[in-house]
């Protein structure tokens, strides 16, 4: 029973992966990510003994930025596109639960992102190697954290994809991703605007997906230590928040009238 469920979910995931890899936009984004990393070679002349740091900064920023763009724009189309193309109906006619479909879609795009992020990381390491800089293993740690953040972005995009139209889903996802990156501002709001109730600011702070949790780029570039406890809690946060979004997406999609 469980094995069957798993294999059906895996089939949806692989299908999603194959489909998203066929999307030309992925190659374009990958191309730009690599281009951005390589442009670090030119930028280094503008700095004073900071070229390896710029390369790492730029490379990690590119991975973050392009990964987020991929997660949002492919993620919001995961459910809606299937409905628009009417390719969802034959799928649901098969013994496939809607929740399995949602989880499979999530897993498929996660796999696509994994491949992309891995390729971009390889590009960054390649650039460092070519410019004769040490291959800093901490970069991989930062990338792993970024990847967790990207998974949360996918879950967010998928949730909105299941809830509303593609256009609105893009707007909602981008808004929440941006708001989530400035979550600390919300937390500190009562300090600068005392009229904002502390409880409200705290509630909004916890409700927002806090993407700042996954941003360890600066700390990794400066070789600051990151405690294992932090990494563990980050993973807990990603699983909890992502799980909540996927549960919500599955629940909403299960009740959605597709006629």
- The residues that touch other proteins, with contacts defined as CB under 8 A, are 46-48, 50, 53-54, 205-206, 210, 213, 218-219, 222, 224-227, 229-230, 233-234, 236-237, 240-241, 243-244, 247-248, 250-251
Are residues 201 and 112 in contact, defined by beta-carbon separation less than 8 angstroms? no
Q: Which is nearer to other proteins, 93 or 192 (CB)?
A: 192
Q: Which is nearer to other proteins, 74 or 208 (CB)?
A: 208
Q: Which is nearer to other proteins, 12 or 234 (CB)?
A: 234
Task: Give me the least distance between CB of 196 and other proteins, in Å please.
Answer: 16
Task: Give me the least distance between CB of 159 and other proteins, in Å please.
Answer: 12
Are residues 139 and 220 in contact, defined by beta-carbon separation less than 8 angstroms? yes
| Rounded Cα–Cα distance for residues 24 and 37 (Å) | 20
Q: Which is nearer to other proteins, 30 or 204 (CB)?
A: 204
Task: Give me the least distance between CB of 233 and other proteins, in Å please.
Answer: 4
Are residues 253 and 79 in contact, defined by beta-carbon separation less than 8 angstroms? yes
Task: Give me the least distance between CB of 28 and other proteins, in Å please.
Answer: 26
Helix or strand run (H / E) with residue 129: helix 98-130
Neighbours of 31 (CB within 10 A): 11
Residue 71: burial class (beta carbons within 10 Å; 0-12, 13-18, 19+) = buried
């Amino acid at each position: 029973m469980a094995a069957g469920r798993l294999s059906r979910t895996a089939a949806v995931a692989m299908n999603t992966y194959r489909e998203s890899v066929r999307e030309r936009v992925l190659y374009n984004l990958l191309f730009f990510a690599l281009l951005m990393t390589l442009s670090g070679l030119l930028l280094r002349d503008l700095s004073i003994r900071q070229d390896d740091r710029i390369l790492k900064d730029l490379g990690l920023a590119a991975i973050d930025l392009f990964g987020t763009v991929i997660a949002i724009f492919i993620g919001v189309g995961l459910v809606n596109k299937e409905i628009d193309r009417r390719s969802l109906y034959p799928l649901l006619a098969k013994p496939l639960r809607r929740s399995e479909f949602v989880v499979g879609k999530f897993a498929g795009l996660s796999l696509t992102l994994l491949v992309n992020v891995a390729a971009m990381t390889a590009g960054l390491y390649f650039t460092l190697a070519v410019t004769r800089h040490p291959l800093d293993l901490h970069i991989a740690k930062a990338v792993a954290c970024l990847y967790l953040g990207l998974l949360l972005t996918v879950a967010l995009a998928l949730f909105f994809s299941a809830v509303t139209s593609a256009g609105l889903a893009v707007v909602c996802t981008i808004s929440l991703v941006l708001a989530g990156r400035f979550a600390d501002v919300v937390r500190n709001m009562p300090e600068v605007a005392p009229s904002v109730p502390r409880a409200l600011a705290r509630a909004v702070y916890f409700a927002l997906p806090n993407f700042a949790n996954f941003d360890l780029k600066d700390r990794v570039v400066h070789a600051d230590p990151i405690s294992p406890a932090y990494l563990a809690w980050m993973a807990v946060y990603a699983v909890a928040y992502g799980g909540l979004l996927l549960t919500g997406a599955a629940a909403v999609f299960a009740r959605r009238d597709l006629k």
